[in-house]
Amino acid sequence: MKERFIQLLKQIDRDGIEEFIAFLEQDTDFFSAPASAYHHGNYLGGLVDHSLGVYDNLVKIIDTFGLSDRYSNETILITALLHDLCKANFYRKVLRNRKNEKSGQWEKVEIYEINDQFPIGHGEKSVILLGRYLALTDEEMLAIRWHMGGFDDAARAYTGGQSLSKAMKSSPLVAALHMADMATCYFEGI
């Protein structure tokens, strides 16, 4: 999966892409990180599996709704593959006590927990980290920022909900990326 992911990233022809790939490989756990602590893709390498699944689903959605002429391959690659960049270096493994359902005995089990070193938000964090390496278009920033849709805590507040609504109305990519993310999580479980 890592090889496919990097080959897709190498299709992006923007200044900083080589430095960004080096950052991913050398300074993050992106390729071994889970996609979540308890839900979709909560296993070693789940984040890269999830990101590739979102890419595949975004391509389908873009094609299905006739948006292929509107968005470049680079935009699709950047938004889908890197929407959850914020989850790199985000989880750590810890031991917890859990009662074994069969034996009734307590046992230690390894789980993931959140260990956020840069607590600035979810989509916002991905945009900020990407912006250190690549120039992003406004639509790419909006799509990545709001890829959680109504599940984003900010969207639950009045002004956040207004911002999400305006972002979706101004850019079909925002809704398309959200749909691809949800399909990957809930239909495919990654």
Torsion of CA 33, 37, 43, 44, to 10 degrees: 20
CA–CA separation, 122 and 160 (whole Å): 14
3-state secondary structure 50-83: HHHHHHHHHHHHHHHCCCCCCCCHHHHHHHHHHC
What pLDDT, on the 0 to 100 scale, is given for residue 79?
A: 98
Query: Taking all residues of the chain, what is their mean pLDDT, rounded to a whole number?
Result: 93
- 169 - beta bridge partners? none
- Cβ neighbours of residue 33 under 8 Å, at least 6 residues apart? 45, 46, 47, 48, 87, 88, 89, 90, 91
pTM of the model: 0.91
Q: Domain coordinates of the chain in residue numbers?
A: 2-88+120-187
What pLDDT, on the 0 to 100 scale, is given for residue 179?
A: 97
What pLDDT, on the 0 to 100 scale, is given for residue 111?
A: 84
What pLDDT, on the 0 to 100 scale, is given for residue 71?
A: 97
What pLDDT, on the 0 to 100 scale, is given for residue 159?
A: 83
Which among 42, 53, 60 is positioned nearest to 81, based on CA atoms?
Answer: 53
What pLDDT, on the 0 to 100 scale, is given for residue 73?
A: 96
Give the chain's count of helices (H) and strands (E): 8, 2
Please check whether residue 75 is in contact with residue 67, taking contact to mean a CB–CB distance below 8 angstroms: no
What pLDDT, on the 0 to 100 scale, is given for residue 152?
A: 81
- Residue 95: what residue type? L
Q: Measure Cα distances from 58 to 14, 91, 106 in Å.
A: 21, 26, 43
What pLDDT, on the 0 to 100 scale, is given for residue 153?
A: 80
Q: Quick one: tokens of 179?
A: 């749909």
- Residue 109: what residue type? V
Please report the sign of the dihedral spanned by the C-alpha atoms of residue 49, residue 50, residue 51, residue 56.
positive
Task: Give the residues of the chain that fall short of pLDDT 70.
Answer: none
For 24, the enclosing helix (H) or strand (E) is helix 17-27
